[in-house]
Amino acid sequence: MKNIYSNILKFNKNTLSKTLRYLKKNKIVGLPTETVYGLAGNAYSDESIKKIYSIKKRPKKNPLIIHYYNLNKASRDIEINNDFIKLYKKLCPGPITFVVKKKRSSKISNLSTAKLKTVAVRFPSNKKTRTILRKLNFPLAIPSANKSSSVSPVSAKDVAEEFRNKIKIIIDGGNAKFGLESTVIDLTNKAGILRPGIIGGLKISKILKKKISMVKSQKIIRSPGSLKKHYSPNIPMKLNQNKAKKNDAFIVFGKKYKNKKNSFNLSKKSNLNEAAKNLYRILRKIKKLKYKKISVVKIPYKGIGVAINDRLKHAAS
Ligand code: TXA
Ligand code: MG
């Protein structure tokens, strides 16, 4: 059998040209971002977008995030409002995604936005992916590089294991800096968080000088990915537990938990950023070790802990 890791490439002049060539031919590549790894394709091409949905087995009604090098390039396709400018200036490039109105003249493939009139846009900070975005004259649709509803990948190896040899180019960017997805904020009416993420609501509130709510019950499904089972290792999982049976995996947080064979500590230092970075890596490890059940301790609901709790809740549903 062919080595499944053989499509993981170091980033250099040659692999950059090869990647650009692939993307221009509407092929799909694996790219690192500062949040999680993604599957990238030409956002202006129906052919590319179809491939992404098919490889991920993603429901067609769940739209993709369109990634740009900068606001200048994005302004061809989207309507820009004041809140957007304020957040862009302070936080971009970085781990935040904005849902905005699509211009009528936008060239973004309708298939990537589930035929909505809005579009989610992001400006990732990962240097390698930024170089690629800068050199292209189209944006990239980049969903997380996992099969629909499963755990997002945080290393190039994770991507290779998820899709075997289906993805011919995976650019190695080491371990993802944050290890958890971007915050998704809806700026089309009253600013509201659709998916909690790396950037907290408090920080956004301070920049916009107004209260930002979490959009919870949605009449129309505004962030379909935020509703169903998601981010899931497909192993039964119980949250807010104080202990675990010895054959079950036990995900803990903080130094009061002793090292045991079945325990996996998100952060011995009780650091929530470190916990976010370790969460998906640990879920993948537990799956590889073939545990049948997972218990998780209570994780503090503050800062990035809000996003961690959100992902755990979806993973457990
Ligand atoms: O950190 C990230 O955002 C990663 C990296 C690779 O950039 N990407 C990512 O993409 O998490 P994905 O496809 O796994 O999640 C996109 C989320 C989904 O929950 C989707 O429903 C939501 O964004 N979304 C996309 N377009 C939307 C729109 N027009 N309105 C509301 N939600 C939208
Ligand atoms: Mg995803």
- Write the pLDDT tens digit of every residue in 225-264: 555 678 888 999 999 999 999 999 999 999 999 889 999 9
Nearest-ligand number for the alpha carbon of 143:
1
* Pocket, ligand 1, Cβ cutoff 6 A: 33, 35-36, 38, 62-65, 97, 99, 113, 116, 118-120, 122, 124, 142-144, 181-182, 184, 194-195, 222-226
Candidates 84, 126, 184: which one to mutate for ligand 1, based on the most atoms within 8 Å of Cβ?
184
d(CA 260, CA 57) in angstroms, rounded, equals 37
Is 253 within a domain?
yes
DSSP 195-254: E--SS-HHHHHHHHTS--EE--S-SS-SSGGGTSS-SB-SS-EE-S-S---TTSEEEE-S
Is 3 within a domain?
no
Nearest to 60, CA basis, from 225, 196, 183: 225
Same domain for 204 and 90: yes
pLDDT in tens, 144-185: 999 998 999 999 999 999 999 999 999 999 999 999 999 999
Ligand 1 centre from 43 Cα, in Å? 14
Lowest mean pLDDT among 40-54, 165-179, 226-240, 269-283: 226-240
Burial 105-130 (b: 16+ CB within 10 A, else e): ebebbebbbeebebbbbbbbbbebbb
Same domain for 137 and 26: yes
Residues spanned by the domain of 292 = 237-315
Same domain for 157 and 15: yes
Ligand 1 centre from 16 Cα, in Å? 25
Ligand 1 centre from 22 Cα, in Å? 23
Confidence at residue 230, expressed as pLDDT on a 0 to 100 scale: 82
Confidence at residue 41, expressed as pLDDT on a 0 to 100 scale: 98
**The total number of structural domains that make up the chain:** 2
Is 181 within a domain?
yes
**Residue 152 alpha carbon, nearest atom of ligand 1:** 14
Same domain for 152 and 284: no
Same domain for 136 and 13: yes
Lowest mean pLDDT among 12-26, 209-223, 241-255: 209-223
Confidence at residue 258, expressed as pLDDT on a 0 to 100 scale: 87
| Mean model confidence pLDDT for the chain | 94
CATH of the domain at 39: 3.90.870.10
Residue nearest to atom 17 of ligand 1 (CA): 225
**Residue 222 alpha carbon, nearest atom of ligand 1:** 31
Cβ-in-10-Å burial (0-12, 13-18, 19+) of 251 comes to: buried
Same domain for 292 and 143: no
Mean pLDDT value across residues 99-103: 97
Same domain for 190 and 75: yes
DSSP 246-297: TTSEEEE-STTSPP-TTEEES-TT--HHHHHHHHHHHHHHHHHTT-S-EEE-
Same domain for 201 and 241: no
Is 217 within a domain?
no
Q: Kindly state the tokens that stand for 147.
A: 């099969």
Mean pLDDT value across residues 199-205: 96
DSSP 50-104: HHHHHHHT--TTSPPEEE-S-HHHHTTTB---HHHHHHHHHH-SSSEEEEEEBPT
Ligand 2 centre from 37 Cα, in Å? 10
Same domain for 64 and 165: yes
* pLDDT category of residue 215 using cuts at 50, 70 and 90: confident
**Residue 184 alpha carbon, nearest atom of ligand 1:** 23
Same domain for 135 and 41: yes
Confidence at residue 220, expressed as pLDDT on a 0 to 100 scale: 45
Is 218 within a domain?
no
Same domain for 201 and 251: no
93: cis peptide before it, omega within 30°? yes
CATH of the domain at 289: 3.40.50.11030
Confidence at residue 223, expressed as pLDDT on a 0 to 100 scale: 57
Is 171 within a domain?
yes
* pLDDT category of residue 195 using cuts at 50, 70 and 90: very high
Is 227 within a domain?
no
118 and 103 Cβ atoms separated by less than 8 Å? no
Nearest-ligand number for the alpha carbon of 63:
1
Mean pLDDT value across residues 273-282: 98
Ligand 1 centre from 303 Cα, in Å? 20
Nearest to 271, CA basis, from 308, 232, 313, 316: 308
Same domain for 200 and 101: yes
Candidates 68, 97, 199: which one to mutate for ligand 1, based on the most atoms within 8 Å of Cβ?
97
Answer whether residue 310 shows pLDDT above 90: yes
Burial 38-48 (b: 16+ CB within 10 A, else e): bbbbbbbbeeb
d(CA 3, CA 161) in angstroms, rounded, equals 11
Confidence at residue 219, expressed as pLDDT on a 0 to 100 scale: 42
* pLDDT category of residue 317 using cuts at 50, 70 and 90: confident
d(CA 147, CA 29) in angstroms, rounded, equals 15
Residue nearest to atom 13 of ligand 1 (CA): 143
Residue nearest to atom 29 of ligand 1 (CA): 119
pTM: 0.96
Confidence at residue 231, expressed as pLDDT on a 0 to 100 scale: 86
